[in-house]
């Protein structure tokens, strides 16, 4: 785990004497003896420890074996502090911390830490930057409490890998086909190859093909939802629009709960590089953007529950009740619908059979690694397809970009078209459509036909990325909100006769139910872009304040 010194130094900055003095008002002094454990892997109850004298060891504990193995990641001396992103959300610790010698410390609890982040910009920045860098380090070095044993031929393995990485949860992945040590690990935990994917949680619990919700539960990714509480605002969906609403709502003092059925980031989270979002001239991956927004929302105190799906909205009277897929019910005086959209599927009879084992709807590092040095097909003429083709061309032997229309000029940004034209690893195939998918278990062959060709062609290609437009996630809203002909949510002046109040007109992003707003891709007539989704999420909070004041 050798890292350049300056990287380690930025992860463990030293606070000055003046900064240490400022922190005294927020913490409790604590004296510890050599060898004393400050917190264990999996603990949630501690705060951060600031070292006033002496030193602490930050220790990685391997979860690959029941008899745990230690390695010291860092010795923290005077001016250093412990902690990473898990402290903001109350998630479990991924490391152990032990006093190296008799030490004098200051312990700052979670509530006071949040106060510092919100009121002291200098210290807030030092803490947040260190926490973020430490989480990046833990993910990159798979330090933590998760071991996933799976196969690249299993759709559930891909689902779990994507779920953990999109939630920024470090994990070690062992592939039964590629890793020679796998049998020894399986024997240690008494599992069979036929049980995979298997998720080993904190070196103890063995979950056989768990759902995302079970994985989230095991790793403590969610703080409990208080069913007795009436929130000021519930946001459904943690894509760019929902995260923006959460950041603005929480930073303006609202009591905010976000419900997300998968992981923060939404569609943007499946993008390898967003280059047209303001302020990121060299581009940013959707996952990075979502990770930062997630931390920002938690910094201001928003509560975010992942792997929980809104099943129905009861909107007869305020406070409105949201029913979740596990039967839980939560109430709020205002709701922001930010449930976005999902990819349209091709009308091929055996499509579902190959989803996750050859067919993918996102192109991130996780999927790209599966295509190393192989040919791949990307279907779609929009920016998301163009980005995927460019990104995959750095991993795959060759990328075939299939579009139904005559070219890309009507549907894709000029900068992407130029790059695709200049990339020898990409072949654009206009007026071409997929006719059939073949394979025994995994996808093995793709048959396509172009308008110019006399006959169809079959290619031994095992990876197909579908990026063919999206339909809105609104089935959970049926019977409650007015939708347009394509099932997008109607808002503002579009509502016409669907608006129920005589006393006032609907606000800009308000739906047919007063106090319920819709933002981003789920909204009828919205511009399907990250910037507009973020803008709408932020704006809606302004109207929420007005409704709450009525
Ligand atoms: C691969 C790709 C690349 C892209 N590249 C760009 C780009 O470069 N620039 C750009 O401007 N735009 C880009 N876009 C478009 C952009 O990502 C979307 O416009 C944006 O993500 C919309 O944000 P949103 O929050 O409205 O919805 P979404 O991103 O769709 O997020 C909705 C969220 O709601 C959750 N959800 C859905 N239903 C429920 C439910 N019932 N309960 C709980 N949660 C639910 C979903 O899991 C999801 O996380 C790209 C899109 C894709 C797919």
For a ligand 1 pocket test, name from 245, 268, 335 the mutation site with the most ligand atoms within 8 angstroms of its C-beta: 268
pLDDT, greater one: 429 or 152: 429
Q: How far apart are CA 321 and CA 117, in angstroms?
A: 32
268 Cα: distance to centroid of ligand 1 (angstroms): 5
Could you report the per-residue pLDDT of 271-330, keeping only the tens digit for each? 878 888 999 999 999 999 999 999 999 999 999 999 999 999 999 889 999 999 999 999
Strand order in the sheet with 56-61: 37-39, 96-99, 56-61, 70-76
Please name the residues in contact with 63: beta carbons below 8 A apart, sequence gap of 6 or more.
144, 145, 146, 147, 172, 200, 202, 203
Task: State the number of CA atoms in the 13 A half-sphere of 267 facing the CB.
Answer: 27
Residue 263 alpha carbon to ligand 1 centre in Å:
11
Span from the CA of 30 to the centroid of ligand 1 (angstroms): 46
**Which of 6-10, 29-33, 133-137, 220-224 bottoms out in mean pLDDT, i.e. has the lowest?**
6-10
Q: In the predicted model, is pLDDT for residue 178 greater than 80?
A: yes
Give residue 253 CA to ligand 1 midpoint distance, Å: 26
DSSP-derived secondary structure for 436-495: EEE-SSS--EEEEEETT-SS-EEE----EEE---EEE--GGGTTTS-B-TTSPBP-GGGG
User: What is the Cα–Cα distance from 300 to 294, expressed in whole angstroms?
Assistant: 10
How far apart are the C-alpha atoms of 297 and 277, rounded to whole Å? 19
* Lowest-confidence segment of 60-64, 146-150, 467-471, 504-508 by average pLDDT: 60-64
Identify the residues whose C-beta falls under 6 Å from ligand 1. 236-242, 259-262, 266-268, 270-271, 274, 276, 309-310, 338-341, 383-384, 387, 473, 476, 520-521, 528-531, 533
Of all atoms in ligand 1, which is nearest to the CA of residue 242? 25
Q: Give residue 342 CA to ligand 1 midpoint distance, Å.
A: 8
Task: Indicate the length of the chain as a whole number.
Answer: 550
For a ligand 1 pocket test, name from 241, 267, 344, 523 the mutation site with the most ligand atoms within 8 angstroms of its C-beta.
267
C-alpha of residue 202 to centroid of ligand 1, in Å: 32
64 — pLDDT class (breaks 50, 70, 90): low
Query: Residues 493-539: pLDDT tens digits?
Result: 999 999 999 999 999 999 999 999 999 999 999 988 899 999 999 99
Choose between 491 and 141: higher pLDDT. Answer: 491
Ligand 1 midpoint to CA 324 (Å): 20
CB 84 within 8 A of CB 11: no
Residue percentage of the chain with pLDDT more than 90: 75
The upper half-sphere exposure of residue 86, i.e. CA atoms within 13 Å in the direction of its Cβ, equals 27
Q: How many CB atoms lie within 10 A of CB 279?
A: 6
The closest residue, in CA terms, to atom 35 on ligand 1 is 237
Query: Cα–Cα distance between 340 and 290 in angstroms, integer?
Result: 15
Q: Among 213, 237, 244, name the best residue to mutate to test ligand 1's pocket (greatest count of ligand atoms within 8 A of Cβ).
A: 237
Q: Atom 11 of ligand 1 has which residue's CA nearest to it?
A: 529
Kind of pairing between the strands at 28-32 and 432-438: unpaired
- How close is the Cα of 528 to the center of ligand 1, in Å? 9
**Residue nearest atom 20 of ligand 1, based on CA coordinates:** 530
Residue to mutate, 266, 269, 289, ligand 1, most ligand atoms under 8 Å from C-beta:
266
Q: Which atom of ligand 1 is nearest to the CA of 527?
A: 19
Which atom number of ligand 1 is nearest to the Cα of residue 522? 26
Q: Among the atoms of ligand 1, which is closest to the Cα of residue 267?
A: 29
Q: What are phi and psi of 341, to 5 degrees?
A: -145, 165
Distance CA 196, CA 198 (A): 5
The H-or-E segment that residue 530 falls in is helix 530-549
Q: Name the 3-class secondary structure at 233.
A: strand
Distance of CA 114 to the CA centre of its chain: 22
pLDDT-above-70 percentage for the chain: 98
Greater pLDDT, 273 or 239:
239
Gap from CA of 540 to ligand 1 centroid (Å): 17
Which atom number of ligand 1 is nearest to the Cα of residue 523? 26
Output Rg (C-alpha) for the chain, integer angstroms: 25
Q: Are 24 and 135 in contact (CB under 8 A)?
A: no
Which tokens in the block code for residue 41? 């892997």
pTM over 0.75: yes
Give pLDDT, residue 469. Answer: 80
Dump pLDDT digits (tens) for 86-134: 888 888 899 999 999 999 999 999 999 999 998 999 999 999 999 999 9
CA 269–ligand 1 middle distance (angstroms):
7
Q: For ligand 1, what atom is nearest to the CA of residue 275?
A: 8
Distance 517 CA to ligand 1 centre (A): 17
Residue nearest to atom 41 of ligand 1 (CA): 310
Instruction: Please answer whether residues 275 and 283 qualify as being in contact, where contact means their C-beta atoms are separated by less than 8 angstroms.
Output: yes
Comparing CA positions, the residue from 115, 122, 110 lying closest to residue 82 is: 110
Kindly report the protein residue whose alpha carbon is nearest to atom 33 of ligand 1: 237
Residue 203: the pLDDT is 81
308 CA: nearest ligand 1 atom: 43
CB-based contact 458:445 (threshold 8 Å): yes
What SS3 state is found at 419?
A: helix
**Cα–Cα distance, 358 to 35 (Å, whole number):** 50
Residue with the bigger pLDDT between 185 and 57: it is 57
The DSSP call for residue 407 is -
Burial of 483 (0-12, 13-18, 19+ CB in 10 A): buried
Q: Is 283 left (phi over 0), alpha (psi -120 to 50) or beta?
A: left
> Tokens 């004041």 — which residue?
549
């Amino acid at each position: 785990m050798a890292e350049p010194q300056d990287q380690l130094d930025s992860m463990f900055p030293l606070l000055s004497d003046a900064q240490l003095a400022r922190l005294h008002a927020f913490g409790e002094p604590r004296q510890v003896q050599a060898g004393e454990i400050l917190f264990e892997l999996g603990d949630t109850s501690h705060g951060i420890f600031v070292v006033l004298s002496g030193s602490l060891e930050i220790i990685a504990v391997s979860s690959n074996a029941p008899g745990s193995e230690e390695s010291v990641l860092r010795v923290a001396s005077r001016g250093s502090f412990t902690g990473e992103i898990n402290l903001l959300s109350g998630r479990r610790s991924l490391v152990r911390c032990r006093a190296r010698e008799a030490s004098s410390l200051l312990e700052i609890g979670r509530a006071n830490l949040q106060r510092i982040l919100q009121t002291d910009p200098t210290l807030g920045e030092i803490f947040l930057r260190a926490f973020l860098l430490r989480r990046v380090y833990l993910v990159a070095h798979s330090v933590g409490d998760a071991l996933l044993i799976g196969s690249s031929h299993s759709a559930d393995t891909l689902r779990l890998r994507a779920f953990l990485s999109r939630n920024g949860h470090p994990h070690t992945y062992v592939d039964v086909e590629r890793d020679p040590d796998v049998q020894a690990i399986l024997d240690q935990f008494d599992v069979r190859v036929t049980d995979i994917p298997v998720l080993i949680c904190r070196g103890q619990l063995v979950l056989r093909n768990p759902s995302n919700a079970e994985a989230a539960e095991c790793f403590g990714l969610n703080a409990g939802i208080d069913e007795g509480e009436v929130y000021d605002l519930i946001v459904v969906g943690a894509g760019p629009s929902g995260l923006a609403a959460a950041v603005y709502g929480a930073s303006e003092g609202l009591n905010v709960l976000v419900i997300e059925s998968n992981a923060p980031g939404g569609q943007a989270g499946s993008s390898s590089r967003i280059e047209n979002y303001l302020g990121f001239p060299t581009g940013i991956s959707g996952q990075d953007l979502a990770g930062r927004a997630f931390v920002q929302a938690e910094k201001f105190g928003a509560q975010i529950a992942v792997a929980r799906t809104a099943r129905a909205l009861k909107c007869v009277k305020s406070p409105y009740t949201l029913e979740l897929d596990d039967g839980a019910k939560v109430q709020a005086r205002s709701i922001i619908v930010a449930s976005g959209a999902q990819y349209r599927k091709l009308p091929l009879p055996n499509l579902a059979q190959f989803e996750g084992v050859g067919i993918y709807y996102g192109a991130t590092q996780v999927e790209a690694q599966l295509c190393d040095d192989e040919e791949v097909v990307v279907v779609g003429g929009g920016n998301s397809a163009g980005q995927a083709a460019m990104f995959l061309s750095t991993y795959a032997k060759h990328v075939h970009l299939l579009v139904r229309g005559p070219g890309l000029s009507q549907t894709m940004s000029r900068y992407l078209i130029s790059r695709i034209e200049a990339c020898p690893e990409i072949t654009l195939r206009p007026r071409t459509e997929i006719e059939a998918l073949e394979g025994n278990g995994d996808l093995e062959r793709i048959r396509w036909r172009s308008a110019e060709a006399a006959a169809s062609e079959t290619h031994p290609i095992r990876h197909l990325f579908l990026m063919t437009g999206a339909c809105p996630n609104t089935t959970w809203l049926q019977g409650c909100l007015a939708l347009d002909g394509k099932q997008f949510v109607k808002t503002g002046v579009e509502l016409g006769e669907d608006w129920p109040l005589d006393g006032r007109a609907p606000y800009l992003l308000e739906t047919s139910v007063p106090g319920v707003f819709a933002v981003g891709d789920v909204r009828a007539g919205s511009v399907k872009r990250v910037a507009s989704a973020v803008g709408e999420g932020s704006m809606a909070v302004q109207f929420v304040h007005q409704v709450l004041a009525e």
